Amino acid sequence: MQNNPFNIQSDYPLIMGVLNVTPDSFSDGGRFIQDKGLDLHHACDVASQMVEQGAHIIDVGGESTRPGAKAVSLNEEMDRVLPVVEALAKHTDAVISVDTSSPALMLQAHALGAGLLNDVRAFTKDGALEAAVATQLPICIMHMQGSPQNMQDKPSYNDVTTDVATFLSARCQHAISAGVKSRHIMVDPGFGFGKTDAHNIELLQQLSVITQLGFPVLAGLSRKSMIGRLLRRDTQDRLAGSLALAMLASQAGAGIIRVHDVAQTRDVLALQALIPLNT
């Protein structure tokens, strides 16, 4: 099992496959959570398939962070995530990322074999940063304005790129001061998390400002509602838009691309690496 994404060698950006073990995530909610609870076998099969298709990292999330999503209890989140982490740690070579803001889950996931902590709340929850330091795992610090419950209620910025970069820089320095190794930090501008379509577009156009912070940049644009609004496509019809944005993010310097459609994204990024354009 690979337990550090920063040790992975690849000719193109790393691919993070999304594995939401939730009933209400915007794209694949309910896929592994049914009336009888978690379908662990199905979840592990899908994760294994993503690894075979080219995913370097599997991001396991037990709490939906879509706009307006309801919070879940810690016990419920742990019941969804920990069995999957434990099973994947035994049966896959990919890095297992845990998408959580819960300190207790971070600690237990680390004990079961997780290799990355991915927190949409940027480790601001009480005890989260301390838990990250205790595990000594790599972390992903994301920007979000507000919370999932209210983040799309008229988000506003003085300058979205500058504001996001300033926030991420401050959180990274805070994490380093607390004991996280700088070489173990990646950042995520948080496309769609407290941003309008115009904000998202501007962030993508100016992603070099984020890359200049000196940390690997993760871009999560797969199947986002922005694609639906701009192209008038339902969630299940957003593959082409997702692939276009994955390539644009890669060209802008993103080092990790978080996606639902691994095989297709892998082909796009691999071809992009094989046929560099003259500039």
Q: What is the pLDDT along the chain (279 residues), one digit of tens a residue?
A: 557 899 999 999 999 999 988 874 445 544 555 445 678 888 899 999 999 999 999 999 998 777 766 778 999 999 999 999 999 999 888 999 999 999 999 999 999 999 999 999 999 999 999 999 999 999 999 999 977 766 677 888 999 999 999 999 999 999 999 999 999 999 999 999 999 999 999 999 999 999 999 999 999 999 999 999 999 999 899 999 999 999 999 999 999 999 999 999 999 999 999 998 876
Contact 234, 273 (CB under 8 A): no
Residue 110 CA to residue 186 CA, distance in Å, equals 18
Q: What is the predicted pLDDT for the residue at 29?
A: 45
Residue 20 CA to residue 141 CA, distance in Å, equals 19
Residue 89 CA to residue 181 CA, distance in Å, equals 23
Beta strands 33-34 and 37-38 are antiparallel
Whole-prediction pTM value? 0.92
Give the DSSP H or E segment for 134.
helix 128-135
Residue matched to tokens 């300190």? 103
Enumerate helices (H) and strands (E) in the chain, giving the number of each. 10, 10
Contact 221, 196 (CB under 8 A): no
Q: What is the predicted pLDDT for the residue at 169?
A: 98
Residue 148 CA to residue 110 CA, distance in Å, equals 25
Q: Rounded to whole angstroms, what are the CA distances from 63 to 66, 156, 206, 272?
A: 9, 25, 30, 34
Residue 74: how many other CB atoms lie within 10 Å: 15
In the chain, the N- to C-terminal Cα span, in Å, equals 39
Burial classification of residue 22, based on how many CB atoms lie within 10 Å of its CB (0-12 exposed, 13-18 middle, 19 or more buried):
buried
Give the DSSP H or E segment for 20.
strand 14-20
Residue matched to tokens 């997702």? 242
Residue 17 CA to residue 115 CA, distance in Å, equals 14
| Closest of 84, 168, 155, 93 to residue 123, by C-alpha | 168
Token pair recorded at residue 78: 């742990």
Q: What are phi and psi of 139, to 5 degrees?
A: -135, 155
Catalytic residues: 224, 258
Q: What is the predicted pLDDT for the residue at 153?
A: 75
Q: Supply angle C-alpha 42, 43, 49, rounded to 5.
A: 90
For the chain, give the number of residues.
279
- On whether the 5-273 domain is CATH 3.20.20.20, my answer is yes
| Domain assignments of the chain as residue spans, ordered by start | 5-273
Give the DSSP H or E segment for 21.
none
Radius of gyration over every alpha carbon of the chain, rounded to an integer in angstroms: 17
Residue 218 CA to residue 14 CA, distance in Å, equals 9
Q: What is the predicted pLDDT for the residue at 30?
A: 47
